[in-house]
């Protein structure tokens, strides 16, 4: 069953709703059609109802200038292109397309006003799933083509929050959709450094200091970036300072496969991440300053395509052509 309440008005006066999904086990997910934001995900533990994502209780908290000035994209759907594009430039049919450079000299998460700040059209399916749709028109943020995007949120009785992505276009366009929730599985939001993380790959994308990929994969086995064997996030954080890396799994898959697992300090709550995407951006949140949330208060596990993929032919994705269907799925399974 899905409950709907008003969540406020945008600065342009658009009405926004908040949708509450529940499963038979008592899990609750709250999603607003502003940015497709997952505002809350709670678990019914023996002694408490535990909130495990960073989020706010009002639309104003997501839209005020203070929040946007150091914008962490809490819980939002990201598009047209998640992560970074080098200097905002892509080349299509021997012509350069200049996308907005909203992160220093580079393009980040769809530009100045990406999918994360749009009001999506919402539809409740079978009284249990939430379908969000958005038409990104030709030329929006200088992206070519009319892109019809559909995202379905499902909260299953197997305690999985599933996110199903689908998109079609009438012109070839760069695309990389993702979901930008920050997770904290403990019973407070002080720090995720004591969380244990496992990521099932020996490779990350090689990047420069501004996190722009070189096009090469870097073998991280037995390095500080290696999470193939589960370890605490804090174990090597003093030397790393902050993880913000795209872990690489090779090709996309037709069905989700497990790529990562996160658990709280005491192992009371675990979360498995499964996805069809080829990459997982792990960001440990050193630069979070938003309301009551500070540095390392959450970790983002963003299943996605590779950053800057349109500029690297060997990445073999990053573009969507007319007649093709962009389709991916990510599952966050809670075990407690």
Task: Please give the annotated binding residues for beta-D-galactose, written as ranges.
Answer: 83-84, 180-182, 244
Q: Which of 175, 174, 212 is nearest to 77 (CA)?
A: 175
d(CA 253, CA 156): 21
Q: Which of 261, 331, 259 is nearest to 299 (CA)?
A: 261
Q: Which of 62, 60, 14 is nearest to 38 (CA)?
A: 62
C-alpha dist (Å) from residue 169 to 43, 152, 165: 38, 18, 14
Instruction: Tell me if 228 sits within 8 A of 259, measured CB to CB.
Output: no
Q: Which residues, other chains included, contact 306 with Cβ-Cβ below 8 Å and sequence gap of 6+?
A: 83, 176, 205, 213, 246, 248, 278, 279, 312, 315, 317, 318
Residue given tokens 């070519």 in the structure block: 144
Query: H or E stretch including 322?
Result: none
Instruction: Tell me if 242 sits within 8 A of 286, measured CB to CB.
Output: yes
Residues forming the annotated binding site? 83-84, 180-182, 244
Catalytic residue positions, numbered:
180, 302
Q: 2 has which bridge partners? A: 21
What's the N-to-C CA distance of the chain in angstroms?
22
């Amino acid at each position: 069953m899905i409950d709907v309440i008003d969540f406020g008005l945008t600065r342009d006066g658009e009405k926004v709703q908040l949708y509450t999904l529940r499963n038979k086990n008592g899990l609750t997910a709250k999603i607003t059609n502003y940015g497709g934001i997952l505002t809350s995900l709670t678990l019914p533990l023996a002694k408490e109802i535990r909130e495990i994502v960073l989020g706010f209780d009002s639309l104003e908290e997501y839209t005020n200038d203070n929040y946007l000035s150091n914008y962490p994209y809490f819980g939002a759907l990201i598009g047209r292109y998640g992560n970074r594009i080098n200097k905002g430039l892509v080349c299509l049919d021997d012509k350069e397309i200049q996308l907005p450079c909203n992160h220093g000299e580079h393009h980040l998460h769809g530009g100045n006003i990406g999918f994360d700040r749009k009001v999506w059209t919402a539809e409740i399916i079978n009284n249990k799933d939430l379908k969000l749709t958005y038409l990104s028109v030709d030329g929006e943020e200088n992206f070519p083509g009319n892109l019809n995007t559909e995202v379905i949120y499902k909260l299953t009785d197997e305690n999985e929050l599933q996110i199903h992505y689908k998109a079609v276009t009438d012109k070839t366009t760069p695309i990389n959709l993702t979901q930008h929730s920050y997770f904290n599985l403990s019973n407070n939001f002080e720090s995720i450094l004591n969380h244990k993380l496992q990521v099932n790959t020996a490779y990350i994308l090689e990047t420069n200091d501004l996190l722009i990929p070189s096009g090469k994969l870097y073998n991280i086995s037995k390095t500080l970036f290696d999470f193939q064997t589960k370890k605490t996030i804090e174990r090597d954080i003093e030397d790393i300072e902050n993880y913000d890396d795209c872990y690489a799994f090779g090709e996309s898959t037709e069905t989700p496969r497990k790529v990562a697992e996160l658990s709280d300090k005491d192992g009371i709550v675990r979360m498995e991440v499964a996805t069809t995407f080829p990459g997982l951006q792990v960001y440990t949140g050193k630069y979070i300053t938003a309301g009551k949330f500070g540095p390392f208060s959450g970790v983002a596990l963003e299943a996605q395509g590779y950053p800057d993929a349109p500029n690297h032919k060997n990445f073999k994705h990053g573009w969507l052509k007319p007649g093709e269907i962009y389709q991916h799925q990510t599952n966050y399974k809670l075990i407690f």
